[in-house]
Amino acid sequence: SPLHPFLVALPKCEHHMHLEGSLSPELLFALAKKNNISLPSPFPTVSRSGPGTAEEQDEIDPAFASPATLRARYAAFTSLDDFLHYYYIGMRVLLTADDFEELAYAYLARASLEGNVRHAEVFFDPQAHVSRGVTVAVIVEGWERAVERVEGEFGGGKGRKITALLVPCLLRHLEVEDSRGLFAGLLAEGYFHGEDGGEEGPKLAGVGLCSTEMDRPPGLWKEIFEMAREAGVRRTAHAGEEGPAGYVSAALDELWVERIDHGVRAAEDGELMGRLAREGVMLTVCPVSNVRLKGVERLEDVPIREFLDKGVRFSLNSDDPAYFGAYLQEVYCAVEEAFGLSVGEWAMIARNAVEGSWCGEERKREIL
Ligand code: ES4
Ligand code: ZN
């Protein structure tokens, strides 16, 4: 596209990238080896006493033969849950603060150098780590070392190239009580920023909700998000990815979220589209993710045109770049390829992404 140099130079903000979703197959295998973590065997179990148990059979997966076979399997995801199966296996290799530092540094450096990403808000899944004995303190330690290194290397102070915030997501496939315990603990330990933004002091910029969507309506997390609202903790939730438009409304009405992650199925409801436009709710759309998880057949089927025409604000995001094969710069290019947007439309998309960020107003002015 003739717009390619312009799209690379656009200062970008990313709001929807799961740290664990930036784990490349190569780093996954390297950390499994370093940490002595067993992955599903690529070979059928041969047992003298007959076939293995159901559990053993579950741990046979030819995709784990090599990084290349794993990447090939990622290219054939059939649904959100099919992806999540691999995503949760992959993150088992993350144990130490060093591991999280390496993971976060690789993402932030690439975002800055390849995509001119100026501000990144990165999700992680505390429950999936705490359940393995890896504490939030360990993850935050690794994260902060990565952010410090990136800020040091890519320009510190006022004109620094990239700022980054960390946002825990509660996991929808687990019992609500599990979310409550985790969230109440983080709140009591003073992990959260207030709504005024800023990067100093407390470690976490808000709270999100992700994982399996079908049959797990947002309202189940109402009391927990009420705790967040009362404590002045910013809120967002995945909704309308596989689930119906009604889940987007429910996230707004029952969780008081400021943003909606994905939200693409909102386009099926004209009234809801009007509300999103009126209230200025930003959708963090992940078009390549939607294609790879079969929410839509082709990128052209993501309702980008509808959002633009109806004045629904959105940012473009990579979601799980190592699993879906596209980092943010590639997502921008893929969207341009599919929709052929104008320079004015791209400038507005990038500006809305800055305005919808959870950094302070001062930082927004620096990026704009
Ligand atoms: C996710 Cl694509 C997607 N949807 C919901 N939850 C997630 N966690 C990581 N990626
Ligand atoms: Zn996501």
CATH class of the domain at 4-29+84-367: alpha beta
Is the pLDDT at 146 greater than 70, yes or no? yes
Supply the pLDDT for residue 309: 98
Q: Best substitution site from 79, 82, 211 to test ligand 1's pocket, by max atoms within 8 Å of Cβ? A: 211
Q: What is the pLDDT of residues 335-361, one digit of tens each?
A: 999 999 999 999 999 999 999 999 999
Q: What is the pLDDT of residues 84-93, one digit of tens each?
A: 999 999 999 9
- Indicate which residue's Cα is closest to atom 4 of ligand 1: 211
Distance CA 336, CA 330 (A): 10
Q: Determine the distance separating the centroid of ligand 1 and the alpha carbon of 98, expressed in angstroms.
A: 24
Q: What angle do CA 12, 16, 20 make, to 5 degrees?
A: 120
Distance CA 24, CA 128 (A): 18
Domain ranges of the chain: 4-29+84-367
Q: Which residues are catalytic?
A: 241
Q: Determine the distance separating the centroid of ligand 2 and the alpha carbon of 36, expressed in angstroms.
A: 28
**Is 320 known as a binding-site position?**
yes
Task: Give phi and psi for 96, each to the nearest 5.
Answer: -110, 165
Percentage of residues of the chain with pLDDT beyond 90: 89
ipTM greater than 0.85, yes or no? yes
